[in-house]
Structure 1
């Protein structure tokens, strides 16, 4: 049974979302403020966080940042703001997805399922030992543990960052369009613009350091992963 932590200060919205997750067989934890959310996160085994931005005690940005220092579990941000800069900030802090209020609980549920399923799929034990990891020019992706090492040094990646890096590396040398990335990683019709994908790519490059040039931008198309000479 997967555990969902719903962090929302509006009681009605929290209860509605909770009911939908419970009906699908999930265990649900609730928090109405940021401090309570972090306490639950520390005390319980949480598989996914649904996190509102505007919270009392401690806002969603701060909660997201603190969770990311400890875990790569999927985080879905809830925002009533229409400013795209808020969305981009959420991704920069490590969020995997966002839902804009007012939203359909079914949409929220579908996006949570997608993130949990992709996490479970990549993390399953593989049949062949050679398939457990992929190494290209000093970047090693280990699928069962969902870990990345650059020249032997472990580097922390969020759920979505790991998915994007693994997908690009598995398709080394091939151009992957932004549309392909969106379909593969998020799996639903995209409502934002290219800046969202660009933000995740920028985060990847920052964490790859000297290896950042291996993720190549193909103008007006997308990206590809190229081994350095």
Structure 2
């Protein structure tokens, strides 16, 4: 579904039922050397995703056949495809829901194409570069029975099940694994996760931590992430670096 190949223009899939927005984004992003495909519905999107690899999805939440946030949730369960949601909703609860259910970022209508371009570029950078704080010799991290394969970006549970991570969750987890048993402030985590570069939006970190906890922590088992109130978070598990 997703594949960024060095030397090849990134492929962006735009999903919006408004033909004027679709055409505007196809033309605008094409001028900046992106390969752009377009779909008008969730069904068309599903077909497009099977035709060729997609690097980033721009997804309107209001589609004629399915809610875009639920599409993002389903895609996140299956892969780590980069997803930016377009929404007309200005309420913070809706933005938080989009992030909780799988989106990596969002823009609110009416939006500037240049702002969307900047967010697309930033998100693609985050998906392709390694965390600067991560041990450069590390090939995998092992903790509490879990294993994160850095090269494959694959997280495997103690039960040998592969667990999908969003880009934000992956960046957050590698930040924690690079500094176990140390308090990381929200400001540090915001920078490491690169969420909403032009906003001070600490709530995004809380959302990402909550999503990561739900994937990693089992009821009745010791917590892996501790909340240090008023400061940030600490990853409590011992971490083994595999080379």
TM score, norm. by length of structure 2: 0.83
1:14 to partner: Cα distance: 2.2
Tell me how far apart the structure 2 counterparts of residues 191 and 30 of structure 1 sit (CA, whole Å): 32
SS state at 2:147 partner: strand
Question: Which of residues 175, 189, 200 in structure 2 aligns to 1:167?
Answer: 175
Bigger RCO (CA 8 Å, 6+ sep): 2
Question: Which of residues 227, 232, 236 in structure 2 aligns to 1:217?
Answer: 227
Structure 2 spans left out of the alignment, 5+ residues: 1-8, 239-243
Mapped contact 2:181–2:235 kept (Cα < 8 A): yes
Question: Which of residues 19, 24, 31 in structure 2 aligns to 1:16?
Answer: 24
Matched, 1:227 2:213: no
Mapped contact 1:216–1:224 kept (Cα < 8 A): yes
Mapped contact 1:122–1:146 kept (Cα < 8 A): no
Tell me how far apart the structure 2 counterparts of residues 98 and 57 of structure 1 sit (CA, whole Å): 21
SS state at 2:63 partner: coil
1:15 to partner: Cα distance: 2.3
Provide the aligned length of Structure 1 versus Structure 2: 225
1:191 to partner: Cα distance: 5.0
Q: Which residue of 2 aligns with 1:62?
A: 70
SS state at 1:164 partner: helix
Q: Which residue of 2 aligns with 1:150?
A: 157
Mapped contact 2:57–2:82 kept (Cα < 8 A): yes
1:70 to partner: Cα distance: 2.5
1:150 to partner: Cα distance: 2.7
Mapped contact 1:174–1:224 kept (Cα < 8 A): yes
Assess, with a 3 A threshold, how the Cα gap between structure 1 residues 191 and 11 changes in structure 2: closer, same or farther.
farther
1:147 to partner: Cα distance: 0.9
Mapped contact 2:30–2:36 kept (Cα < 8 A): yes
Q: Which residue of 2 aligns with 1:6?
A: 14
1:111 to partner: Cα distance: 1.2
1:62 to partner: Cα distance: 2.9
Matched, 1:176 2:184: yes
1:139 to partner: Cα distance: 2.8
Offset from partner CA, 1:104-162 (integer Å, 9 cap, x none): 11111111111111211139xx997x511122332322111101123262222122111
SS state at 1:213 partner: coil
Offset from partner CA, 1:33-68 (integer Å, 9 cap, x none): 222112211222111100010111222123213322
Q: Which structure's residues are more often helix, by fraction? A: 1
Offset from partner CA, 1:71-108 (integer Å, 9 cap, x none): 21110111110122211221222111111111111111
Matched, 1:37 2:50: no
Question: Which of residues 57, 73, 81 in structure 1 aligns to 2:89?
Answer: 81
Q: Which residue of 2 aligns with 1:190?
A: 199
Which sits farther off after the overlay, 51-60 or 168-177? Answer: 168-177
- What is the RMSD computed on CA atoms of the aligned residues? 2.4
Tell me how far apart the structure 1 counterparts of residues 191 and 73 of structure 2 sit (CA, whole Å): 26
Tell me how far apart the structure 1 counterparts of residues 172 and 113 of structure 2 sit (CA, whole Å): 26
TM score, norm. by length of structure 1: 0.88
Tell me how far apart the structure 1 counterparts of residues 234 and 118 of structure 2 sit (CA, whole Å): 29
